[in-house]
Chains A and B, each alone.
Chain A
Amino acid sequence: DQQVKQNSPSLSVQEGRISILNCDYTNSMFDYFLWYKKYPAEGPTFLISISSIKDKNEDGRFTVFLNKSAKHLSLHIVPSQPGDSAVYFCAASRGYGKLTFGQGTILTVHP
């Protein structure tokens, strides 16, 4: 049972434009949501999080939006840079517990 899903395996964006990565979840008990970035041969790196009491959180070029009724979250990167090219994972947890990850989306930002 895949409780966190990233339905787009890959996304290609031009440098300077917006990247939008999407994630859906099925477990209504999840109350924290996180995004990670992963480069090859490295562990995932934390980007940004949001709790279920909010619908938006910003950190520099990164903004996460949460739509609880649709059980959907998205990560916006503006403007996109070639160094943002990586695999992006969304993850969810119930309280301060284990993270459940999606399958990942490969983002490629072209110069």
Chain B
Amino acid sequence: DTGVSQDPRHKITKRGQNVTFRCDPISEHNRLYWYRQTLGQGPEFLTYFQNEAQLEKSRLLSDRFSAERPKGSFSTLEIQRTEQGDSAMYLCASSDSILYGYTFGSGTRLTVV
């Protein structure tokens, strides 16, 4: 297992289009997190799953955003009707213990033009 994988690494889309990102966590990790990071800021929490259950969603996650983790394995984050303000780095992380930190993927950089 080589860590947390995110696909694609980069995505350029036109305003109004829908986009979907995928995250493959470390296989034995039961928790999976989505964060968003903009330039000069720290990562902002979006949502997290324990196995297939979505336990918490941030107020940042408007109704245009939806995340799934079918069967408690990989996860997808979909953004509908993208806006320029959605341009950011979207980070996925997985963990099985707080003390050993969360392992982040390299992120998907979204640019909405």
Contact = CB atoms under 8 A, between A and B. Distances in A.
B99 A36 contact: no
A103 B42 CA distance: 4
Nearest to B95: A96
Chain A interface bracket (under 10, 10 to 19, 20 to 34, 35 or more): 20 to 34
A30 to B, nearest CB: 11
A32 B43 contact: no
A56 to B, nearest CB: 15
Contacts, number: 61
Chain B interface bracket (under 10, 10 to 19, 20 to 34, 35 or more): 20 to 34
A95 B104 contact: no
B98 A49 contact: yes
A46 B103 contact: yes
A45 B98 contact: no
Interface of B: 4, 31, 33, 35, 40-45, 48, 56, 91, 93, 97-107
